[in-house]
Amino acid sequence: MSVYVDEGFRPCVTERATVAFRVCRDDRAQVFEISAEALMAFCGAASSRRKDLLVAFEHAQGEILTVAARKWTFKPTEPVRLGLDEFRMIRH
């Protein structure tokens, strides 16, 4: 199964301090949101500033996709949240 970040949906910082992005798997797409805390703790974001979150997201896409693939539940109408707990579970 091929899992990748959809380049047609540009990752963006939401008002809830998450980075929203869309992942494609086979012929389906699902929106995910990764928390600023997870980006700072596991992906090297220097702060919760927009620019720092997006840079960390770009640099850690492989690891983020691994977590997203394990957390995948196809719900086209609601984003799947990835927080500290999801990263802790995958990394240990």
Predicted confidence (pLDDT) at residue 70 exceeds the cutoff of 90: no
Average pLDDT over residues 68-88: 81
CATH number for the domain harbouring residue 7: 3.30.160
Domain limits for position 29: 3-89
Q: pLDDT (tens digit, 9 = 90+) per residue, 7-41?
A: 888 999 999 899 999 999 888 889 999 999 999 99
The pTM of the full predicted model, rounded to 2 decimals, is 0.83
Predicted confidence (pLDDT) at residue 1 exceeds the cutoff of 60: no
The number of folded domains in the chain is 1
For residue 4, give the nearest of 31, 18, 26, 23 by alpha carbon.
23
Q: What does residue 20 show for φ and ψ, rounded to 5 degrees?
A: -95, 140
Average pLDDT over residues 81-85: 85
